[in-house]
Structure 1
Amino acid sequence: MLELEVENFRSLRQVSIPLGPLNVLVGPNGVGKTNLLDVFRFLADIIQTDIEPALEGRGGFESTAFRGGGRTPSNIRIRLKATWTRHSSTRAPDEYEFKITRRRRDGRDTLSRQESFQFKRTKGRGRRITIQGENAQVVDTRKNEDEDPVTRSIGLQRFSSGLSTLPRLSDDAGGGEVATLAEGLASFRVFDVDVSSARFPSRITNSLQDTKLAENASNLALFLFTLKRNDLESWQRLVADAREVLPQLRSIDFEFPSGSAREVIAVLHESGLRVPTELADASYGTIRLLGLLALLYDPNPPALTCIEEIDHGLHPQALELLVERTREASERTQFLIATHSPALADRLRPDEIIVCERDGDGASQIPAISRERLEAIVERSEGLPLGELWFSGVLGGGL
């Protein structure tokens, strides 16, 4: 499983969280839930575009660094622990740390980066890669502690990330291990259904075998069509779930207005209506529900799936089903979910909830209450649901 440490990223002055299979961030707007999810977007952007474009996409270092306190901090730091590579384990996880530092030199600001990778082994040798300036140092430790480690140096561009450049190296230099880590981080998905985009027809790609659901569900119709075509059992379960929440729904079908090779639209057959309803004419909540169910039935999910405001636009009747399906899907992907819905929190277990709040200096407190203290409060609460305890302020992070 994944452990995350963050320092000085937007409202996250100092945050440390071990993540379980299902993790739900609860708290009002503005406490830092979205900023926590954006940490993973930031890392994915670094892999895809490198450090400077990832920073510029967030307004530069000044806008990306912690915004509270009297002045901008000099660095941003992110550290992750997980079992990415083949020989790692929960007892000997892989580790990655990334740090950007800003210094004033010759009357202007300069940025530098430091990175470190540790690939541990339960048995046998390990590997550590450290990057600073234009040099990457690769150190292989031996199986026997009395043997000297093997060290080699590799040149890099001054401000390029090892995540984006080291995967090109040979396996002996750590390229394969860094590539595995980078692929895992790049696959992390921050999902937020854009209903206006999800309504419309999807262009059919050349291959229907590996269709991935877009982070904003803009290709929802194509993904649903592909799921029905390639995984009929999952498709039937998805439709059954949708019918449970939408009693008027009888079935979901597909049409190809511009030809079967060009685009596909989803249509809903509903009780009492003589013509089907195109997704473009469906309700906001219906499209949100279908987008979330599509995500939960994805046959090839990433290692981590983040979901923005999962409850937004949904009837409370849908929440019970979504929590149940998310728990089932968490056997295949970790979830980090943001919500401010007490109704959804009511359906969670103490080990699934992370209470969020902000202090007087603008720093996010995540978690605002330890798991041990939360469980002790729940035990004394005589059966009150978590959402009610949170909403009343007993758990902190109140509205």
Structure 2
Amino acid sequence: MMQTLAVEGYRSISSLVLGLERLTVVTGANGTGKSNLYRSLQLLADCGQGRMISSLARSGGLGSVRFAGEGPQPSPVSLRLGFASDSIGYAIDIGLPQVGDSMFRHDPEIKQEHIFAGDVLRPATTLLERRRGLVKADGVRLQQNMPAWQSVLDEQAGNESVPEAGAVRRELRSWRFHDAFRTDANAPARRPQVATRSFRLDDDGANLAAVLQTTIENGGEAEIALAAVHHAFKGSTLEIQGDASGLVAGLRQSGLARVMTAGELSDGTLQFLLLVAALTSVESPGLLVLNEPERSLHSSLMPALARLITQTSERTQTIVVTHHADLTRLLGGASVELRKSAARTTVAGREGRLDQPVWAWPKR
């Protein structure tokens, strides 16, 4: 389980270290930095996919995501992301490129990466370190001229002498993010889908019916999924219709002579079914991050949604980013309220560094 998340130099986040529980609820008013925290988590996960630099480039480069608040700016310019779990931690430092004549001279560079044991990076806990192009483990040089756009998580993942690189990559790749699902008239989830077993929900929700049917046939969280629908829609039952050529999700509702398929459901109802599929799928992520899951849902669905998320957190560590007061209250768990002070995202109730979890960044 992830114990600590650290972000420095990302848009409104000058420096933020959060302690995490099985279920952590991040709240705050609009504009306090909730979305920035969510996106920085996605960027950290991109390190495990080998697409950190390209993700930054698509966001407009380091200049568009660097800390934008007033007052003292970090020097040198850097974006630093890290986490520590029960057994292993990772920290990455991205900065501006050195001057050169490359057509890609505006791409940011990976300046440092560290993999460490325990909850805090120290010389004694360092398992692997990368400083610019030099990579070392236990004082032994592994690589000398690593390109600035390559991560040790890719370059060293198959090196049996440093299995920690592969372990961190697997951890980051297991994280799953769910933002607003498409529920418009042309949403993929409204159309019949190919009937093939699906163990996790696609980002666009296209395999909704297949994921739900896979969960039902494989047991596991099927009882939770069916109960969530029954609880949310007053006795309605989930039904998957179709044959080997295609499947479509639907609801059998009291008083109606036929099943209402996904193409006929309201946006809110479809949104809830997508959340059910995401949270009860057979493949369980290492970390599940939900950004405003209450979007499009009526307030009457908050108890059912809170119950579903709470049950999910018992098997999967979950972070919920929301500004919905009722959902926050119903979820309980560890609550982190973000505020903005002098254009900087802060945590309510923390007056200084001693009020936050222990974390150490490597020096350049």
TM-score by length of 2: 0.83
Taking a change above 3 Å as real, the CA distance of residues 4 and 234 of structure 1, as seen in their structure-2 partners, is closer
Q: 1:353 aligns with which of 315, 329, 335?
A: 335
Taking a change above 3 Å as real, the CA distance of residues 347 and 267 of structure 1, as seen in their structure-2 partners, is closer
Query: What is the aligned partner in structure 1 of residue 361 from structure 2?
Result: none
Question: Based on CA coordinates, which of the two structures has the bigger radius of gyration?
Answer: 1
Distance 1:227 1:70 in 2: 51
Query: What is the aligned partner in structure 1 of residue 267 from structure 2?
Result: 284
Q: 2:226 aligns with which of 239, 242, 246?
A: 239
What SS is found at the alignment partner of 2:249? strand
Query: What is the aligned partner in structure 1 of residue 348 from structure 2?
Result: 368
After TM superposition, list the pairs within 5 Å mapping 1:116-155 onto structure 2: 116-119=114-117, 128-139=127-138, 151-155=140-144
- Partner letter of residue 162 of structure 1? V
Q: Is contact 1:101–1:111 with CA below 8 Å preserved after alignment?
A: yes
Query: What is the aligned partner in structure 2 of residue 390 from structure 1?
Result: none
Distance 1:288 1:203 in 2: 20
Distance 1:370 1:363 in 2: 13
Q: 1:181 aligns with which of 168, 187, 199?
A: 168
Query: What is the aligned partner in structure 2 of residue 23 from structure 1?
Result: 24
- Partner letter of residue 297 of structure 2? L
Taking a change above 3 Å as real, the CA distance of residues 198 and 12 of structure 1, as seen in their structure-2 partners, is farther
What SS is found at the alignment partner of 1:168? coil
Structure having greater relative contact order (Cα 8 Å, sep ≥ 6): 2
- Partner letter of residue 364 of structure 1? T
Deviation at 1:79, TM superposition (A): 1.9
- Partner letter of residue 284 of structure 2? P
Deviation at 1:153, TM superposition (A): 3.0
Say how many residue pairs are matched: 335
Deviation at 1:120, TM superposition (A): 5.3
Taking a change above 3 Å as real, the CA distance of residues 204 and 109 of structure 1, as seen in their structure-2 partners, is same
Deviation at 1:338, TM superposition (A): 1.1
Taking a change above 3 Å as real, the CA distance of residues 271 and 339 of structure 1, as seen in their structure-2 partners, is same
Query: What is the aligned partner in structure 2 of residue 335 from structure 1?
Result: 318
Taking a change above 3 Å as real, the CA distance of residues 341 and 120 of structure 1, as seen in their structure-2 partners, is closer
What SS is found at the alignment partner of 1:335? strand
Deviation at 1:126, TM superposition (A): 6.5
Taking a change above 3 Å as real, the CA distance of residues 368 and 198 of structure 1, as seen in their structure-2 partners, is farther
Deviation at 1:265, TM superposition (A): 1.0
Taking a change above 3 Å as real, the CA distance of residues 97 and 72 of structure 1, as seen in their structure-2 partners, is same
What SS is found at the alignment partner of 1:81? strand
Deviation at 1:340, TM superposition (A): 1.2
Distance 2:300 2:182 in 1: 21
Deviation at 1:280, TM superposition (A): 1.1
Q: Is contact 2:47–2:172 with CA below 8 Å preserved after alignment?
A: no
Deviation at 1:248, TM superposition (A): 5.7
Distance 1:138 1:132 in 2: 12
Q: Is contact 2:89–2:115 with CA below 8 Å preserved after alignment?
A: yes
- Cα shift readout 1:145-179 (whole Å, capped 9, x = no counterpart): xxxxx62332322331112221022x21x0x2211
Distance 1:117 1:138 in 2: 9
Distance 1:50 1:348 in 2: 33
Q: Is contact 2:26–2:321 with CA below 8 Å preserved after alignment?
A: yes
Distance 2:277 2:258 in 1: 24
Q: Is contact 2:229–2:238 with CA below 8 Å preserved after alignment?
A: no
Could you list the runs of 5+ residues in structure 1 that have no partner in the other structure? 89-93, 140-149, 372-399
Q: Is contact 2:224–2:308 with CA below 8 Å preserved after alignment?
A: no
Q: 1:200 aligns with which of 191, 199, 223?
A: 191
- Cα shift readout 1:96-138 (whole Å, capped 9, x = no counterpart): 11001226647976743211111359xxx96621112222111
What SS is found at the alignment partner of 1:167? coil
Higher mean displacement: 127-136 or 243-252: 243-252
Deviation at 1:7, TM superposition (A): 0.5
Query: What is the aligned partner in structure 2 of residue 46 from structure 1?
Result: 47
Query: What is the aligned partner in structure 2 of residue 98 from structure 1?
Result: 92
Deviation at 1:39, TM superposition (A): 1.8
Q: Is contact 1:50–1:164 with CA below 8 Å preserved after alignment?
A: no
TM-score by length of 1: 0.77
Deviation at 1:185, TM superposition (A): 0.7
Identity %: 25
- Partner letter of residue 363 of structure 1? R
- Partner letter of residue 132 of structure 1? R
Query: What is the aligned partner in structure 2 of residue 165 from structure 1?
Result: 155
Deviation at 1:275, TM superposition (A): 2.5
Taking a change above 3 Å as real, the CA distance of residues 273 and 370 of structure 1, as seen in their structure-2 partners, is same
Deviation at 1:44, TM superposition (A): 2.6
